[in-house]
């Protein structure tokens, strides 16, 4: 090839001048897997600058040499990007292997191992896939007989083009492969569905190789990679997408709970289920992606125990899967302690009388308590502010009052297959974002900031808003000793005044002095207030137990006895009826109690 005239190939002189005669490249483990894979459909997906396209182009040039005469197609969505970005990248690697440019066919003839002995050259066609106006959708590839294709940045193209390209790999006598080089995309994208991260479709010919930026550290240099890691360490979404190549993270938008949610503090430890508390099961009917979450509100806290997201499922099948998962995760839950709420849109009926989402859930013994205005922006904003309050507050010893389980979340498809995901934790950290392209300017609530409906994070997170609106206690802050109004201060003062403490000097019990009470109230000593609340409740229970022990059961005249009842469960209150005597009746149940 020393006598080869590059001018006949239509190459740029500067490209020719820098074309190396010998290439020595050290491939990382993912690059090696992509370079050697023979699967029919191969996706080299991952972080920016991780050498995805370079690995694919190395394979193109290598196969052109090893399989003489093999026809390739190299494409992006537009002609402009194909010829201004993809073509120069190929020439930078393989410029000295080009024999001739055929302008009418937009095709390079490439040297193969049989070119000098048999005159056989491989072919590489370049074209954008986007059709010209007024032409058929796939006109750019019609008539091209190819064995292999490389599509760079395939997230730009509609799924129909991917389906069509699978039928174009038809040239006989050569290995056939369709290579895609996408950047990370959302989990509902057709690329995510065709190339699952667990490679469960590899037997069908679909193989995914994931790349991180550090996989290309030899090409980029340690200094560049380390600098990018430092620059993005405080931007978790961009860090995980740009450096780690993770899917499903938003490309734009400020997280709703930015500055409040801390992954290590709020979402890194398992959250225990308390069978003595009510378990709240909340449904969203989302089109193709129904969701459910489980929450509990123990004494001023909010615990998100887990959730399920359906993938291309109808509600009827989804509800059956949810019941199975509930039984596996919470086997000790008592049915009387299980409460439900749901999207209020599911209770609406149309004029034809078709069944609603509530009707379907009721077939499974699920009877949600629906908050009619739960989808109104002011109400959802209130729920977001409530969750933010939980994230801001802490117990008197510094432990957070909000927690989300990082392990109990699965995505289940219509075949009943499950795979674990970190949707909830990711959503709190970066996925549940504000919508900067939308406002409520022409409404009665222009001050409210809308959150983004992204068809993924929106479904489990709206269930958390429904749960808060239906069952979160109104005095959650007061339960952890945060006094925000006069009524809560009065209740805390009463608890401090009526609770005895041990005197440090005498060892006996006494009531608090006025100065000690004021110090606890105005010094914001949450620990003393909470201890007083707990001790006050304990002393009241002790007094009631004494009264029950002292009741008189010796009357024999047939008249009703005096009984103290209903205090063991905490769910009844005494009442007196002049005709029936003292008895008990169930207290009116309040949300969250």
Q: Are residues 397 and 486 in the same domain?
A: no
d(CA 156, CA 77): 6
Considering only 51-55, 238-242, 259-263, which range has the smallest mean pLDDT?
238-242
Backbone phi and psi for residue 306, each to the nearest 5 degrees, phi listed first: 160, -175
CATH number of 172's domain = 3.40.50.300
Contacts of 584 (CB under 8 A, 6+ apart): 565, 566, 572, 573, 574, 575
- Cβ 552 vs Cβ 533: under 8 Å: no
Q: Which residues of 483-521 are buried (b: 16+ CB within 10 A; e: fewer)?
A: beeeebeeebbebbeebeeeeeeeeeeeebeeeebeebb
Could you list the beta-strand ranges (E) of 184-266: 206-211
Report if residue 348 sits inside a domain: yes
Handedness of CA 567, 572, 574, 579 (dihedral sign): negative
Tokens of 249: 């993270």
Same domain for 491 and 462, yes or no, is no
Instruction: Please state, in angstroms and rounded to a whole number, the distance separating the CA atoms of residues 208 and 46.
Output: 10
**Shared domain check, 488 and 457:** no
Per-residue pLDDT, 566: 44
Co-location of 537 and 565 in the same domain: no
Pick from 473, 490, 505: which residue ends a domain? 473
pLDDT of residue 528: 60
Number of domains in the chain: 4
Q: How much is the pTM?
A: 0.66
Tokens coding 96: 């000295």
Range of the domain at 580: 558-593
Q: Does residue 346 have a pLDDT over 50? A: yes
Q: Is residue 256 part of a domain?
A: no
> What's the pLDDT at 504?
74
User: Where does the pLDDT of residue 73 fall: very low under 50, low under 70, confident under 90, or very high at 90 and above?
Assistant: very high
Taking the C-alpha atoms of residue 71 and residue 341, their distance in angstroms, rounded to an integer, is 59
The answer to whether residues 526 and 434 belong to one domain is: no
β-pair type (291-296, 302-311): antiparallel
- Is the pLDDT higher at 472 or at 593? 472
Of the candidates 284, 43, 3, the one whose C-alpha atom is nearest the C-alpha of residue 151 is: 43
Short-list 450, 449, 377, 387, CA closest to 261: 387
CATH label of the domain that carries residue 455: 3.30.420.280
pLDDT tens for residues 553-592?
555 555 555 554 444 444 444 444 444 444 444 444 444 4
Q: Mind listing the pLDDT tens digit for each residue in 488-506?
A: 666 666 766 677 777 777 7
pLDDT digits (tens, 9 = 90+) for 156-213: 899 999 999 999 999 999 999 999 999 988 777 889 889 988 898 999 999 999 999 9
In this structure, the answer to whether residues 405 and 293 fall within a common structural domain is yes
144 lies in a domain? Answer: yes
Q: Does some domain include residue 258?
A: no
One DSSP character per residue, 182-223 reads PPP--TTSHHHHHS-TT-TTGGGTEEEEEE-GGGGHHHH-HH
Domain C-terminal end among 243, 271, 299: 243
Kindly state whether residue 387 falls inside one of the protein's structural domains: yes
| Residues 519 and 430 reside in one and the same domain | no
pLDDT for res 588: 43
Residues 448 and 494 in one domain: no
Between strands 302-311 and 402-404, the pairing is parallel
Which of 439, 473, 507 represents a domain boundary (last residue)? 473
Q: Are residues 511 and 411 in the same domain?
A: no
Q: How confident is the model at residue 294 (pLDDT cuts 50, 70, 90)?
A: very high
């Amino acid at each position: 090839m020393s006598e080869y005239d590059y001018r006949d190939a239509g190459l740029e002189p500067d490209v020719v001048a820098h074309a190396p005669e010998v290439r020595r490249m050290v491939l990382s483990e993912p690059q090696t897997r992509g370079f050697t894979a023979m699967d029919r459909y191969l996706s080299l997906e991952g972080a920016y600058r991780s050498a995805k396209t370079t690995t694919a182009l190395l394979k193109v040039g290598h196969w052109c040499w090893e399989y003489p005469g093999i026809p390739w197609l190299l494409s992006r969505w537009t002609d402009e990007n194909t010829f201004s970005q993809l073509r120069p990248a190929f020439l930078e690697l393989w410029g000295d292997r080009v024999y001739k440019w055929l302008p009418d066919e937009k095709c390079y003839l490439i040297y193969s191992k049989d070119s000098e002995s048999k005159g056989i050259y491989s072919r590489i066609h370049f074209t954008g896939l986007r059709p010209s106006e007024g032409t058929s959708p796939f006109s750019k590839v019609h008539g091209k007989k190819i064995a292999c294709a490389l599509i760079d940045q395939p997230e730009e193209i509609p799924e129909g083009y991917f389906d069509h390209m699978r039928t174009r790999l038809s040239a006989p006598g050569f290995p056939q492969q369709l290579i895609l080089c996408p950047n990370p995309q959302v989990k509902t994208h057709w690329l995510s569905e065709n190339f699952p991260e667990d490679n469960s479709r590899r037997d069908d010919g679909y193989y995914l190789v994931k790349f991180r930026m550090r996989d290309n550290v030899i090409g980029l240099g340690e200094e560049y990679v380390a600098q990018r890691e430092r620059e993005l360490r405080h931007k978790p979404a961009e860090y995980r997408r740009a450096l780690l190549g993770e899917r499903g993270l938003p490309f734009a938008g400020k997280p709703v709970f930015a500055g409040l949610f801390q992954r290590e503090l709020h979402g890194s430890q398992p959250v225990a289920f308390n069978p003595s508390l009510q378990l709240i099961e909340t449904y969203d009917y989302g089109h193709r992606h129904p969701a459910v979450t489980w929450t509990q509100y123990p004494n001023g806290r909010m615990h998100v125990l887990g959730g399920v997201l359906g993938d291309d499922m109808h509600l009827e099948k989804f509800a059956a899967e949810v019941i199975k998962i509930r039984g596996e995760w919470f086997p000790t839950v008592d049915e009387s302690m299980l409460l439900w709420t749901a999207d209020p849109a599911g209770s609406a009926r149309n004029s034809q009388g078709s069944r609603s989402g509530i009707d379907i859930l009721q077939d499974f013994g699920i009877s949600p308590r629906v908050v009619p205005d739960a989808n109104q922006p002011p109400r959802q904003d209130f729920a977001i502010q409530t969750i933010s309050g939980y994230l801001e507050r802490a117990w008197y010893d510094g432990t957070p009052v909000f927690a989300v389980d990082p392990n109990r979340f699965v995505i289940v498809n219509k075949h009943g297959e499950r795979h674990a995901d970190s949707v909830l934790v990711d959503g709190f950290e970066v996925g549940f974002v504000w919508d900067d392209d939308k406002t409520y300017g022409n409404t009665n609530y222009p001050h409210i900031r809308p959150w983004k409906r992204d068809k993924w994070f929106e479904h489990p997170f709206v269930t958390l808003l429904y749960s808060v609106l239906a069952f979160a206690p109104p005095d959650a802050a007061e339960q952890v000793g945060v006094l925000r109004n006069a009524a809560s201060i009065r209740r805390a003062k009463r608890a401090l005044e009526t609770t005895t403490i041990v005197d440090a000097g005498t060892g006996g019990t006494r009531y608090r002095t006025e100065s000690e009470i004021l110090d606890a109230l105005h010094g914001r000593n949450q620990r003393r207030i909470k201890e007083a609340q707990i001790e006050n409740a304990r002393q009241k229970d002790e007094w009631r137990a004494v009264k029950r022990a002292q009741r008189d059961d010796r009357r024999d005249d047939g008249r009703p006895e005096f009984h103290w009842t209903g205090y063991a469960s905490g769910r009844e209150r005494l009442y007196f009826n002049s005709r029936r005597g003292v008895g008990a009746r169930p207290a009116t149940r309040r949300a969250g109690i």
